[in-house]
Amino acid sequence: MSDTPAIELRDVIKRFGETPAVDRVSLQIGDGEFFSLLGPSGCGKTTTLRMIAGFEYPSSGEMLIHGRSMATIPPHRRPVNTVFQSYALFPHMSVEQNVAFGLQMQRLPKQEIAPRVSEALELVRLGHLAQRRPNQLSGGQQQRVALARALVNQPEVLLLDEPLGALDQKLRKEMQLELKSLQHRVGITFIFVTHDQEEALTMSDRIAVMNQGKVLQVGSPTEIYERPTCRFVADFIGETNFIDGEVVESDGGYSSIVTPDGLRLRGLAPRTLPAGSAATLSIRPEKLRLTTLEQAGPEQVAALPVSVELVSYIGSDTRITVRLNEQRTLDVWEQNRRSTLDRNAYWQPGEQALLFCPPDNALVLAE
Amino acid sequence: MSQTANRVTTPAIERGRLTWSGVSLSLHAVLIYLFLYLPILVLIIFSFTRDAFGVRWTGFTLDWYVRLFNDERLMGASVNTLLVASVSTLVSTILGTLMAMAMERYQFRGREGVEALIYLPVVVPEIVMAVALLAFSALVFDLINALTGQVLRRNLTTVTIAHIAFNMSFVVVVVRTSLRHFDRRLEEAAADLGADSWQTFWRVTFPLILPGIIGGALMAFTLSLDDFVISLFLSGPGTSLLPVEVYSRVRRAITPEINAISTLMLLLSITLVLLSQLLQRRR
Ligand SMILES: Nc1ncnc2c1ncn2[C@@H]1O[C@H](COP(=O)(O)OP(=O)(O)OP(=O)(O)O)[C@@H](O)[C@H]1O
Ligand SMILES: [Mg+2]
């Protein structure tokens, strides 16, 4: 059982009318994995999840749960449970009755249902609210009821559709930690839909980044952030500087590009790019280095003379916009590692400086 | 002391300022309520008068109520009416709810036509409905006669069927409204938790649209109770319903007995309305 994936999608396409909402998606999600689907609004995350839950059927392609094809299995006979974005708690039932619903549908004896319900409510720390109606609960509490209602059935896979979307920032952070530790304890596969990249990065074992129905990249949070394989992923996850140009040289996993304004920059190339092809160099603002004219830069990295244009102090970081020439500016973030009130310790607008773009921190991506 | 005086005078001044619009508004409301309820009040009062014509107050008595309960024709008509109303309400509520579900949930060919047709009985003049139903029943009876040789006559069953026919439209209208407010994601949640469509309906959908169904049933029952035209046309000889019976007596003379039976019907309607409101508030 452990080597068959918990969920497998093979070339799944879902069309509503003409354009596909999900376009040739293939995924393998392992047992006990915390897997996130991340992408902008309308990219097909919910549709993918609904196909796994059984509310939609693929227009073509295959969907398997633990190796079993789901082509003819209706939602109520699938070994998955969903935490809906809207929670979808039954308003005419108490918290306890909501949580008991799934077990009653399995026709378990009453003596078995009661302890499992209270156990599930303890798990989400809502034991004291068992008799309340959903409309007497706060958003966070409702969310936890939805979670308990799904978990109590001990599904093989738990599907979560932006379950934290309706919560305020603070509660959201709390629930993220809670969900993550809960997943560790119960050891169930979680498929978590979100359009919040930070949430996906902090919680997931692996992330699938989607756009326009396609899965663009699947990888660990570090891989997704540090080694995006295309421009969209680099842009969607975190902040980055893009520098468009033409490949002039490729060797040993690196490529060099030259821009129309005459810059020559080197970076890691995930794929070998032929000389003459169009490419984009992507470098994250925290990976650029800025020094004063007197200071030395990293060895063997060409220094680019720049002038500091904008400086914003945001506490942990200072965010600086530097100008290379008439047409081009880049963003540089520096951590404020030293505590000081001395204004001269920070960059000043108008100051001349040297910028270094280390090739190991930059990526050259095909257009 | 002076402070207290101030506190008292302020609202008094305000009240004074509001005089014109305030008074005319209240007057308006009072007049409307008088217009609506005075006749009913008079009816109730005159069901207790000693006066044999029931139009003057000559002292209190419960005689008319006693006489009412001994009046076999009137009692028979009441029982008939309650029977027809109950059966037609039950059947039209079930059929109407199913109809509303189908129209709300399924895409089928000719759906718009069906929708328009189901609402027609709500707007068609009742007399037209009655004539149509009468002609139709005659046709069906002739057909049955030709096929089986049996001679059928209009009776309580025909009225009941006719009542079902017009009640159903009202039930559909009311139940559809509550279905439209129903969050279908709850049904998906139920399916997700392992409920098949039968369990989903009885455990989730039905309890949540029940207030709407009760509302529809109540409307059907009330409409059936006081229906006159269709009841007159479709009940056969010897099976009179209360509104028809009341009418035929009023043509001769208004008696306090009629006032008494009307008061009782009013009481029943009010009780039903209060009951349904109570039921709906509980959710
Ligand atoms: N039932 C439907 N009928 C027609 N089009 C649909 C339906 N459901 C989804 N779509 C379309 O499919 C695309 C993907 O929708 P989906 O709900 O999966 O997006 P999403 O990634 O979940 O977005 P969000 O972050 O906004 O929830 C959208 O363009 C949407 O308009
Ligand atoms: Mg969605």
What the block records as the tokens of A134 is 């959903």
pTM: 0.81
Check pLDDT > 90 for residue B8: no
Using CA coordinates, name the residue in chain A closest to B205.
Answer: A90
Question: For residue range B55-111, what is the model confidence (pLDDT) as tens digits?
Answer: 788 888 888 889 888 888 889 999 999 999 999 999 999 999 999 998 888 888 888
Note the pLDDT of residue A207: 97
Confidence band of B4 (pLDDT split at 50, 70, 90): very low
Burial level of A117, CB count in 10 A (0-12/13-18/19+)?
buried
If you measure from the C-alpha of residue A42 to the centroid of ligand 2, how many angstroms do you get, rounded to a whole number? 7
Note the pLDDT of residue B5: 43
B207 contact A CB<8A: yes
Q: What is the mean pLDDT of residues A258-262?
A: 91
Lowest mean pLDDT among A121-130, A154-163, B105-114: B105-114
Using CA coordinates, name the residue in chain A closest to B197.
Answer: A76
Q: What is the mean pLDDT of residues A283-287?
A: 95
Question: Which distant-in-sequence residues (6+ apart) come within 8 Å of B164 by Cβ?
Answer: B88, B91, B92, B95
Q: According to CATH, what is the number of the domain A7-231?
A: 3.40.50.300
If you measure from the C-alpha of residue A44 to the centroid of ligand 1, how many angstroms do you get, rounded to a whole number? 6
Note the pLDDT of residue B7: 47
Of A76, A84, A105, the CB nearest to B185: A84
Hey, whose CA ends up nearest to atom 19 of ligand 1? A42
DSSP B40-61: HHHHHHHTSBS-TTSSS---B-
Would you mind telling me the total number of residues written for chain A in this entry? Answer: 367
Q: What is the mean pLDDT of residues B214-236?
A: 89
Using CA coordinates, name the residue in chain A closest to B186.
Answer: A88
Hey, whose CA ends up nearest to atom 8 of ligand 1? A47
Residue scoring higher pLDDT (B10 or B231):
B231
Quote the mean pLDDT of chain B: 85
Q: Which helix (H) or strand (E) holds A82?
A: strand A80-83
Angle at A101 between CA A97 and CA A102, to 5 degrees: 150
Confidence band of A279 (pLDDT split at 50, 70, 90): very high
Give the three-state DSSP class for A147.
helix
Phi-psi region of A154 (alpha: psi -120 to 50; beta: other; left: phi over 0): left
Question: For residue range A192-221, what is the model confidence (pLDDT) as tens digits?
Answer: 999 889 999 999 999 999 999 999 999 999
Ligand nearest to the CA of A21: 1
CATH superfamily of A285-364: Nucleic acid-binding proteins (2.40.50.140)
Per mean pLDDT, which of A176-190, B102-116, B233-247 is the most reliable? Answer: A176-190
Q: What is the mean pLDDT of residues B39-44?
A: 88
Among residues of chain A, what percentage have pLDDT more than 90?
74
What the block records as the tokens of A234 is 């680099």
Domain residue spans in chain A? Answer: 7-231, 233-283, 285-364
Q: Which atom of ligand 1 is nearest to the CA of A40?
A: 25
Confidence band of B12 (pLDDT split at 50, 70, 90): very low
Do B204 and A81 make contact, defined as CB atoms within 8 angstroms?
Answer: no
If you measure from the C-alpha of residue A49 to the centroid of ligand 2, how many angstroms do you get, rounded to a whole number? 9
* Sheet of strand A80-83, all strands in order from the earlier edge strand to the far edge: A80-83, A157-161, A189-194, A34-38, A206-211, A214-219
Give the three-state DSSP class for B134.
helix
Please give the Cα distance from B263 to B169 (Å, whole number): 28
Give the mutation candidate from B192, B204, B282, B283 for the A interface (greatest A CB count, under 10 A): B192
Confidence band of B283 (pLDDT split at 50, 70, 90): low
Ligand nearest to the CA of A160: 2
Check pLDDT > 80 for residue B9: no
Measuring CA to CA, how many Å separate A274 from each of A260, A265, A280, B129? 18, 16, 13, 83
Q: Which atom of ligand 1 is nearest to the CA of A48?
A: 18
C-alpha count within 13 angstroms, C-beta hemisphere, residue A123? 25
Among residues of chain A, what percentage have pLDDT more than 70?
99
User: Which residues surround ligand 1 with Cβ inside 6 Å?
Assistant: A 16, 21, 39, 41-47, 195
Cβ atoms of residues A193 and A27 within 8 Å: no
Do B185 and A92 make contact, defined as CB atoms within 8 angstroms?
Answer: no
Please give the Cα distance from B212 to A182 (Å, whole number): 41
Of B183, B192, B195, the CB nearest to A82: B192
Of B186, B188, B195, the CB nearest to A105: B195
Q: Does domain B72-282 have CATH number 3.30.70.20?
A: no
Which residues 92-131 of A have a C-beta within 8 angstroms of B? 92, 101-102, 105-106
Residue scoring higher pLDDT (B154 or B203):
B203
- If one counts every other C-beta atom within 10 angstroms of the C-beta of residue A106, the result is 11
Using CA coordinates, name the residue in chain B closest to A146.
Answer: B189
Note the pLDDT of residue A231: 93
**Mutation pick for ligand 1 pocket among A25, A47, A164, A212 (CB with most ligand atoms within 8 Å):** A47
Do A88 and B196 make contact, defined as CB atoms within 8 angstroms?
Answer: no
Do A75 and B183 make contact, defined as CB atoms within 8 angstroms?
Answer: no
Do A90 and B190 make contact, defined as CB atoms within 8 angstroms?
Answer: yes
Do B208 and A91 make contact, defined as CB atoms within 8 angstroms?
Answer: yes
Using CA coordinates, name the residue in chain B closest to A102.
Answer: B193
Cβ atoms of residues A204 and A34 within 8 Å: yes
Quote the mean pLDDT of chain A: 92
Strand-strand pairing, A80-83 and A157-161 = parallel
Question: For residue range B119-154, what is the model confidence (pLDDT) as tens digits?
Answer: 888 888 989 989 999 999 899 999 999 998 888 888
If you measure from the C-alpha of residue A139 to the centroid of ligand 2, how many angstroms do you get, rounded to a whole number? 18
Note the pLDDT of residue B18: 64
Lowest mean pLDDT among A147-156, A261-270, B55-64: B55-64
- For residue A250, the one-letter residue type is S
Do A84 and B188 make contact, defined as CB atoms within 8 angstroms?
Answer: yes
Do A106 and B192 make contact, defined as CB atoms within 8 angstroms?
Answer: no
Note the pLDDT of residue B1: 39
If you measure from the C-alpha of residue A17 to the centroid of ligand 1, how many angstroms do you get, rounded to a whole number? 12
Note the pLDDT of residue A117: 96
Question: For residue range A21-44, what is the model confidence (pLDDT) as tens digits?
Answer: 999 999 999 999 999 999 999 999
Confidence band of B16 (pLDDT split at 50, 70, 90): low
Do B195 and A76 make contact, defined as CB atoms within 8 angstroms?
Answer: yes
Confidence band of B10 (pLDDT split at 50, 70, 90): very low
Burial level of B14, CB count in 10 A (0-12/13-18/19+)?
exposed
**b/e code B46-58 from CB counts within 10 Å (16+ = b):** bbbbeeeebeeee
Please give the Cα distance from B144 to B166 (Å, whole number): 23
B188 contact A CB<8A: yes
Nearest partner of A245 among A212, A211, A280, judged by Cα:
A280
Check pLDDT > 80 for residue B219: yes
Q: What is the mean pLDDT of residues A109-127?
A: 92
Note the pLDDT of residue A2: 54
Domain residue spans in chain B? Answer: 20-61, 72-282
A39 contact B CB<8A: no
